[in-house]
Each structure stands twice: as structure tokens, then as C-alpha cells.
Structure 1
Amino acid sequence: MTSSLLPQPLLSLCLRSSSSLRPPLLLLHHRRTIKTKSSAAWLVRQQTDHLVASRGAFRARSAFKLLELSKHYKILKPSCKLIIDLGAAPGSWSQVALQGKGGGKVVVAVDLLPMAPIPGVHIIQGDFLDQITQAKIKQKLLLAGDGLRLKADLVMSDMGSNMSGLASMDQEASWKLTKMVFEFCKVGLRVGHFHGQDGIWRSGGTMIMKHFACPEIAEFRRTHLQRCFEEVYYDKPEACRKESAEGYFVCKGYKGDILQKAIEPPAPKEKWAEEEGDL
């Protein structure tokens, strides 16, 4: 229907309604300006970042973060054979893990996003907390490993949520990912035990997890990580950009799901010390 066929009052109403839905030109110009400045800053940062220039065959500069952590905490040693990389795309951490000392590594990379193949890496597209995806992970570990173990020596995650620019929303998203990785360890990370043949104690697996600063992290470390792992470290590798709020937990010697429940943020005044005798 053309505008000439509409009654004049209705035509005026339609024109006013249509114009009210369009953002002001000044606002659109402001958004474009922000986007242009952000893109330009990103390009400059990429061009001047020596790690970007020297990454070689690695798919992302984040590979250098894992290299630093592994060297300092002796993570990718010969005894670390079965490795799960959560939120693996684009795959740089899986590349580093595959090159760890001793050879014979089995690396299972999991992500919601599709990943280009990496020779020697078993890629699964799916949600790592989904039971079907977890069954696929165990199958890969069983078939590609020694045929006996269904849990990993190392669970690692370099996941980060998409930044919105709003601190409260970004902190909440990061906190959610932190809890998700910890929850996965309950079903995917090897627990410490005495070896059946020689009776020697074998420490539990290791978890490496990225997180961003948020109010809950310090309490989460004390009430959850330090309860379920023999050793808990916090580190910010030199490969991290100085302006970034990211850091990494390196947790060694998994003792299992001591808490026996899903992770919930602890109440601010909850007295966890009363439960210390339960450990």
C-alpha cells in the first residue's frame, strides 16, 4: 500500500512512529567512532606485540602462557599423558600440550565452536558439562590411551567470556566459567590413589584454569580449590598483557570431590572453619 492511499492522520502517525524507532544520527556516529577507535587500537597492539610476531606455528599468542606455566610448575612432564583442553579453540594450548616432554601425549580438545584439525589432537565439538560430550571424551581417552583410564592427568582451560565492557557482567561471566571448569574436574580429572601393583602413592591430576579478577575468587580458592587439591598456586605469566585482569590457577594433586555437591558461591559470613574437621 502506498502512502497516497493512507488517510492523512494515519500517514502522519506512521511517519512519526518510524522516525522514533531510528537511533539518532549523533548516536550512530558515536558508536561508529568507538568501534573505529577500538579496531585501530587492536591493530596497533597486534602489530607491536612481539609474541604475535614470533608465535610461529602456534595458532594464538596464548600458547606462550601455557609454555611459561608448564616450565615453572613442571606440568607437561613425561608422566602427564592424558590431557583435556576445555574451550580449546583455536587450539594453541592443545598444540603446546602435544609437544610436552616424553611424547605419547593424548590430547582431547573440547569446544562449542568448530576447530580446524590439529594432527594428533582429538577434537570434540560440544558442551563439556553435557553427559553425551563427557561420554565422548572418556571414549577418546580410553581408545587413544592405555585402554584402562577414563580420567585425565591434566585438565586445562584458557576460556574467557566475550567482554561486554560492563565490569559486573564480565565478572559474572568469568565466575560462571570458573565454576564450570571446577565442576568438570569431578568427572574428568584423575584422583590421587595408591598404585595397585607397588602400593606407591600417585598424586592426583592437575588443573590449570584461567580466571578474571572478581570478588568471589579469593573465597573460592580457600573454600574449594585448597580443599580439593594438595597444592594451589596463582600466577600471571609474563605473556599476559599488563592491562589484562586475567590470571591462572595451577592446582596440583586432585583429592576428589570432597565437598560432594555442586559449586555455589559461599555465603559472605558462612563459617567454613567449622567444617575443617570433616577433611
Structure 2
Amino acid sequence: MKKWIVYLLSVVMLAGCETQDAVHNIKEETKKILVTQMFKPKDVQYVALGDSLTQGVGDEAENEGYVGRLKTDMETWQGVRSVTIHNEAKKGRRSDQLIYQLQSGKLDDTLRKANIITLTIGGNDLMKIVREHITELKKKDFDKGRPKFQQRYETIMQMIRERNPIAPIILIGVYNPLTIFTKEESEMNTIMDEWNSDIRGFADDDPYAVFVNVEDLFDTNANLVYHTDFFHPNARGYDQMTARIIETLEEENLKKLSQGQFDFQEDSIDE
């Protein structure tokens, strides 16, 4: 009798395990279906605008700076089938020159089709002020140039939005390369904070834009992030820039920013 009871209990337990496995498999398949329905994979058009940082100058690994690295990460996102880069950046470009580029109309179609946009601009505006007042550089020189930069940045954002009202725009801030020569606090740090605050303000005013602060990543060269020109990032610097961009997108809710088009991969969907 006991043998039969043990046998029956074993059958019930095995059946229970099989049922649990079946339920688990159904849940996993359901999750896959839900993800597919929520994020229909698309061929993403990634437009990169700005200066040498977006061009990837200094990247000895030849991975196209933060742009190429971000592309690699994007290819793992939900909602992404493939990523095509349109890198329209150029070394030395200032905000007034970017406006001229946008006014030419050559990027109109590219911007209209963009699914995501990144922008670095402002570093060369700052360096222009430095060169013009190199013999007697004062903070007031930057204060005088700041309103003009604000106006140009606003124009850039307006021109992008006229061509594409909804694509997420990642606005990357400026940093002070002079910290590589001194650890002392200087007026340049204050200037960087002010100009970054302006860029952040434009991101705050746009529901589909986000500001990425990279200033602290290049505060001195303790982490060996500078190229041998002591101005541009090296491969390690671009690695850290990319990580900061991804970190910021996670904090700012990529799914919301992209209006449900994209999201980071998750091991599971909350039940």
C-alpha cells in the first residue's frame, strides 16, 4: 500500500513540475510577444552634429568617438533593428558655423528622417574668445560672448525642430581642458558651469531633449582620458563619454524621451 502511495505522490509531483515548467515557458513566450508588440524594430537613422568631439578626433581606437560607441549600444536597444550613422560634424566648428550648415539646406532631408540626434557645440566658441584676448584674458570677455552663444544655440535648436519636431536630441556639454595643467579652481571652471547651465536650459525647454554633463570626466587627466594633444578625448575618454550618455538616458527615461520608440533591454517585464 505504501508503495502505491509513494508512486502516486511521485506522479503528482512530476505532473506539478511539468505544469510549472509549462507555465514558465508560456510566461517567457508572452514576454517576448509583448516586447515585440511594444517596440517594433526599425532601421534607425542617427544624425550627429557639431564639432571635433562628435567627429571623434583623438580616438586612437578608431571607433568614431562617442558616436560609434553609442551606435554599438543602440543596436542592443528594444525597438532597434539596425543603426545608420550620419555624422555631419567637423573639427573646429563653432555655433555660428553650424547655423550656416543648417541654413544651407543640405541636411534638411537627413534631419527629417532622423530617429535620434546628438550635438556637441560651444567648445570652439570658447576657444575663439581665448584666442581673441590671449594677452589679457578676463572673465568679462566670456560674459560678453555668452548672450551671443545663447542666441545661436537657441537658433540651432529651432532650426533642428523645424525639420524634426520629435526626434530625441542629446545635448552634450562643454568641458575645460585647462584643468590638465592645474588642479586649482579658476574662473574657467565658473565659465564652464555657466555655459553648461545655458545648454541644460535648452534641454529643459524641450520635452524630447536631454542634457549630458561631461565636464567632470575631463577634470584633470587623473583618469588618462586625454589625447596627446591635451585637448580632445582619447579612446578611454570617449568610452567614459558614451557611458555618461547611456547613464543619462537611463535616468531620463529613454522610453519616454523617444515616445515609446526605444528602450534599454530588460531581462524581464514587470508582471
Please classify the TM superposition score into its range, dividing by the shorter chain length. Answer: 0.3 to 0.5
Question: When you count strand as a share of all residues, which structure comes out higher?
Answer: 1
Taking CA–CA contacts closer than 8 Å with sequence separation of 6 or more, which of the two structures ends up with the larger relative contact order? 2
More helix by share: 2
Q: What TM-score do the two structures reach when normalised by structure 1?
A: 0.38
TM-score, normalised to structure 2, is: 0.39
